[in-house]
Amino acid sequence: MSARDTILSRLRDNRPKPAEHPLPPVARLGDMDNGQARFENSLQILGGQVLERQEGDTLATAIARRFPDAKIVCSAVPEFDGTIRIQDLASPQQAATVDVLVVRAPFGIAEMGSIFLSEAQLHNLNSAAHLTQHIVVILSPADLTANMHTAYIERPEFKSARYGVLMSGPSATADIQGVLIRGAQGVRTLSVWWD
């Protein structure tokens, strides 16, 4: 008998009675505020930031001010040029040279300050979101959902994307004596640009 059949038959023999353990209906609980203020507060708790917008700023001027030393600014959106387009990155090795990646998230989650990215936004170079030093995420306030329940119930991307990551602030670790460090092995900063 294959391992598969052995496992399945043992599970059938050993399991508790299915009738005694019904599946509860899908939950939709908690705070239903999907406002920008709630998102920003959550984003800040997880170490993310809102990219500062001064009068007359464009995305390009705001990025130039925030990342004055950036040499390679990669764009994954049509409305911004950067120094290179994500379509022109040939490999993860090349993506690893990027200082700032600019990308648009299809939605964000107010409860967590999370933004969603998939292969659709990353042009099938999923590693680019993690190899870049910094990431700037364009997000529309209209694309905020309230919490994890509403996100999973309402957003079709969870069922269509092959790779779907919720990024909640930058990478982080507290593995050395409990000291919280923002910027571990993935992006060192994550900034949101409202648009």
Look at phi and psi of residue 101 and say left if phi exceeds 0, alpha if psi is from -120 to 50, else beta: beta
What is the Cα–Cα distance from 141 to 170, expressed in whole angstroms?
Answer: 20
Window 66-105: residues binding other proteins (CB under 8 A): 92-93, 96
C-alpha distances in angstroms, 107 versus 32, 64, 121, 144? 16, 25, 11, 6
Residue type at 11? L
* Shortest reach from residue 80's CB to other proteins, in Å: 23
CB 110 within 8 A of CB 132: no
The whole-angstrom separation of Cα 112 and Cα 100 is 23
Exactly one of 75, 114, 121, 189 binds other proteins (CB under 8 A); which one? 114
Site for other proteins in 5-24 (CB under 8 A): 6-8, 10-18, 20-24
- Per CB under 8 A, the segment of 56-64, 74-82, 100-108, 155-163 that binds other proteins is 155-163
Using CB under 8 A, count the residues that bind other proteins: 73
Please, which residues bridge with residue 111 across strands?
none
With contacts defined by CB under 8 A, name the span among 32-40, 50-58, 98-106, 147-155 that binds other proteins: 147-155
Of 36, 120, 127, 143, the residue at the interface with other proteins (CB under 8 A) is 127
Among 74, 131, 139, 192, binds other proteins (CB under 8 A): 131
